[in-house]
Amino acid sequence: MFYLINVEDIVRISPDKFNNILENVTLEALRVKYEGLVSGELGFVVAVIDVKVSSLGKIIPGDGATHHIVSFTLLSYYPEIQGIVEGEVVEVEDFGAFIRIGPLDALIHVSQLIDDFVSFDERQGVLIAKETRRTLRRGDIVRARITAVSLPKGGSSGKIGLTMRQPFLGKIEWIIEDVKKAHTPLKNKEGDNK
């Protein structure tokens, strides 16, 4: 899910930036520090918005820069266990597929793709189910459930695990086929619809 998180911090403005507009310099510094950050506390920080910087700064002895208190809002994506997500397959490997969900890529292991034996066709870059012949390739859109989330204390990477082995999950085309099958009327022995 996406969240707006209100944050307060102190920004260092170096002397070579004193002639620039304070809000612009502050926004630039905050973007460098926060955007792309992945943490267990904040999730994946997508953007810094709504910056309010104090025009009064402090000078610390031995440092010619000014230090300003700033309050701002972070747009952050925080994947939640059991959450349902839709995303695009961005990479297919013999062990599974990487799905782009929001700003992150999540892994769906081959054992979590479908209730069938899955093999990898390296030439075509496709995962193929043995019995159903269903395929998964780059560019496919899928719906999955988040089963595992591991976000570090701070840094630029995290791990998200997915499953599609539940009803109404999987490649969108598979879901549509399954829904149509579920709504097909049953026929009795004489061929009449029940």
- Per-residue pLDDT tens digits for 136-162: 999 999 999 999 988 776 555 678 999
Query: What 3-state class would DSSP assign to 29?
Result: helix
Residue 50 has pLDDT above 80, yes or no: yes
Domain housing 141: 84-182
- Over residues 55-80, the pLDDT tens digits come to 998 998 888 899 999 999 999 998 89
In a domain, residue 194? The reply is: no
Residue 9 has pLDDT above 70, yes or no: yes
Choosing from 19, 49, 77, the residue where a domain stops is: 77
Q: What percent of the chain clears pLDDT 70, i.e. is strictly above it?
A: 93
92-142-47 Cα angle (round to 5): 90
Choosing from 77, 110, 136, the residue where a domain stops is: 77
* C-alpha distances out from residue 77 to 130, 168, 182, Å: 36, 24, 35
Choosing from 61, 77, 93, the residue where a domain stops is: 77
State residue 156's pLDDT score. 58
Residue 43 has pLDDT above 90, yes or no: no
Mean pLDDT value of segment 3-19: 93
98 and 89 Cβ atoms separated by less than 8 Å: yes
Mean pLDDT value of segment 162-187: 86
In a domain, residue 172? The reply is: yes
Mean pLDDT value of segment 26-48: 91
Residue 85 has pLDDT above 70, yes or no: yes
Do 95 and 176 fall into the same domain? yes
Q: Of residues 40 and 101, which shows the higher confidence score?
A: 101
State residue 191's pLDDT score. 54
The pTM of the full predicted model, rounded to 2 decimals, is: 0.74
In a domain, residue 192? The reply is: no
State residue 154's pLDDT score. 58
**CATH code where residue 147 lies:** 2.40.50.140
Say how far apart CA 1 and CA 39 lie, in whole Å. Answer: 15
Do 172 and 89 fall into the same domain? yes
**CATH code where residue 21 lies:** 3.30.1490.120
Do 72 and 91 fall into the same domain? no
Structurally, the chain folds into a number of domains equal to: 2
Do 174 and 90 fall into the same domain? yes
Residue 106 has pLDDT above 90, yes or no: yes
In a domain, residue 190? The reply is: no
Task: State the DSSP H helix or E strand holding residue 57, giving kind and residue range, or none if neither.
Answer: strand 43-59
Over the chain, what is the mean pLDDT?
89
